[in-house]
């Protein structure tokens, strides 16, 4: 059974800092890995999707990497802003659309 772990569970940084969120998974036979953002009381918003054949994806200040062999992914946020404050969730797709989520990292960016 796939297990997804996110470290740290919470992170507080000053505005402008570059930061890295970590995600690890136990079963490397994946279709893809996705990073989502969740604001309090809201649904999830997809940030990046990395197919199993890809190594990384970039969108604006966000860069996600994938190392299937080691079961790891990182989400890099450059020049963090207070508006980046949210919970970031990593999800792994093992069976074509069936996602297993990590517990999330709650990020606070202080002005």
Partner 1 sequence: DAGVIQSPRHEVTEMGQEVTLRCKPISGHNSLFWYRQTMMRGLELLIYFNNNVPIDDSGMPEDRFSAKMPNASFSTLKIQPSEPRDSAVYFCASSLTSGGADTQYFGPGTRLTVL
Which residues of the shown chain bind partner 1 in the complex (CB under 8 A)? 31-32, 34, 36, 42-46, 49, 51, 89, 91, 93, 95-104
CA 74/CA 92 separation, integer angstroms: 13
Considering the complex, what minimum distance in angstroms separates the CB of residue 46 from partner 1? 4
For residues 43 and 83, which CB has a smaller minimum distance to partner 1 in the complex?
43
Considering the complex, what minimum distance in angstroms separates the CB of residue 16 from partner 1? 29
Considering the complex, what minimum distance in angstroms separates the CB of residue 76 from partner 1? 19
Strand boundaries in 9-96, DSSP class E: 10-14, 19-25, 32-38, 44-51, 56-59, 62-67, 72-77, 86-93
For residues 29 and 79, which CB has a smaller minimum distance to partner 1 in the complex?
29
For residues 77 and 89, which CB has a smaller minimum distance to partner 1 in the complex?
89
Considering the complex, what minimum distance in angstroms separates the CB of residue 64 from partner 1? 13
For residue 68, what are its two tokens? 């299937």
Q: Which of 107, 58, 66, 64 is nearest to 87 (CA)?
A: 107
CA 14/CA 109 separation, integer angstroms: 6
């Amino acid at each position: 059974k796939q297990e997804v772990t996110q470290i740290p569970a919470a992170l507080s940084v000053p505005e402008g800092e570059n930061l890295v969120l970590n995600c690890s998974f136990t079963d490397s036979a994946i279709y893809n890995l996705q990073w989502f953002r969740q604001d309090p009381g809201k649904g999830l918003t997809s940030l990046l999707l990395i197919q199993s054949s890809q190594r990384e994806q970039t969108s604006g200040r966000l860069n996600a990497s994938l190392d299937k062999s080691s079961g790891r992914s990182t989400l890099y946020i450059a020049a963090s802003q207070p508006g980046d404050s949210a919970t970031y969730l990593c999800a792994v797709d093992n069976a074509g659309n069936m996602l297993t989520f990590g517990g999330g990292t709650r990020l606070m960016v202080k002005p």
